[in-house]
Structure 1
């Protein structure tokens, strides 16, 4: 079915932030006392769930808000250096031209998100940012309520296993992109409604004729 509301994640979905994350993660690790990430750890972490990643890094739950705030502050300093993925502008323009309402739910701040999106920020009707690690489901429900659409008319698109879990918890459809943080197998194992392997595929499948789920 066509979706009246598409809720995007930012980092790893629209913005190519993994190189930035890799550059800074160990500085953050030393500051907050969790395990540093080695090159040989990356593949395993990409196949793990968010909770498994936190367990591997030995990050206690009480530290998460402090780490998230620090990372947002770091991104404020470097937001201009984190590019959008190729084709994001064309994809967003096509969805907007179709009359699809766009929203953004991110763990980053709204100010950082707007800076990364640049001129395309004007296409988004709603921003609900600074999400906690496991706080996206509540934000999805809030965005759907503000948009005044039925949950079945909304889809969330992200690149991490927690994005899929949050969409399921919020009772909306979910699409997973394979060019972000999590490996494709880790995403497919959590049964998203759609798996997108190319940026242009988002508009192709949601605007022209939504494809069969799990394609």
Structure 2
């Protein structure tokens, strides 16, 4: 039986890293933080979110408000983002090969649906938006319950350390992908079930190796 694939959105399906940096730089001063310089990006990608915020002088308690405002600004500029190179064909191949696909993201359903409509990505069985940044394990559990998916039959696909940590907490297998927000070394340290350094490697895992 093929696993039910649950995808993160930003950084995993869509190339939104640079947009996220742009929006952060536009809003950071309002929340006490400093702007991200290009030379900082590699260093920051090696840090967890709390450590990243400390490096950028943003108090953790201000993060929820920053995220809410960032999502509103994202909506205005979302048409400028592109799918990760090669991912569109892979998603359709997965669907054609009998996989069920869903999206679980902290982004809004509206933002995600606009992107999917723009690029004709009609492959997903559902979109589930969860707002708790550090409660992703609860969001995954909620998705399993809502859509009646056995957690033993789920395979999560995400690009962040918190994705790996959340899945390990509740015993869900995860593919960590390195083309998004967090670095390959940070993800590898968390020991995901699978680590893919390219969309091609991800396709090999599920369409040939899986």
Deviation at 1:166, TM superposition (A): 1.3
Paired residues for 1:81-100 under 5 Å: 81-100=80-99
Paired residues for 1:72-83 under 5 Å: 72-83=71-82
Q: Which runs of 4+ in 1 moved over 3 A?
A: none
Asked whether 1:44 is paired with 2:43, we answer yes
Q: 1:17 maps to which residue?
A: 16
How many residues are aligned here?
Answer: 209
Stretch of structure 1 that moved more, 190-199 or 46-55: 46-55
CA distance in 2, matches of 1:110, 1:140: 16
CA distance in 1, matches of 2:124, 2:194: 22
Q: 1:114 maps to which residue?
A: 113
2:76 match: secondary structure: helix
CA distance in 2, matches of 1:129, 1:147: 14
Deviation at 1:149, TM superposition (A): 2.8
Deviation at 1:123, TM superposition (A): 1.5
Contact 2:88 2:121 in 1 (8 A): no
CA distance in 2, matches of 1:62, 1:121: 36
Deviation at 1:80, TM superposition (A): 0.6
Unaligned regions of 5+ residues in structure 1, if any?
Answer: 211-215
Deviation at 1:130, TM superposition (A): 4.2
1:151-176: CA deviations, max 9, x gaps?
Answer: 12111111111111111123201111
Contact 1:156 1:175 in 2 (8 A): yes
Q: What root-mean-square deviation, in Å, do the aligned CA atoms of Structure 1 and Structure 2 show?
A: 1.7
CA distance in 2, matches of 1:164, 1:79: 26
Paired residues for 1:1-215 under 5 Å: 3-118=2-117, 119-210=119-210
CA distance in 1, matches of 2:128, 2:193: 23
Q: 1:213 maps to which residue?
A: none
1:46-73: CA deviations, max 9, x gaps?
Answer: 1111221122223223212211111110
Deviation at 1:121, TM superposition (A): 4.3
Contact 2:23 2:70 in 1 (8 A): no
CA distance in 2, matches of 1:41, 1:203: 31
Stretch of structure 1 that moved more, 160-169 or 125-134: 125-134
TM-score by length of 2: 0.92
Contact 2:130 2:139 in 1 (8 A): no
TM-score by length of 1: 0.90
CA distance in 1, matches of 2:34, 2:68: 19
CA distance in 2, matches of 1:113, 1:104: 9
Contact 1:45 1:53 in 2 (8 A): yes
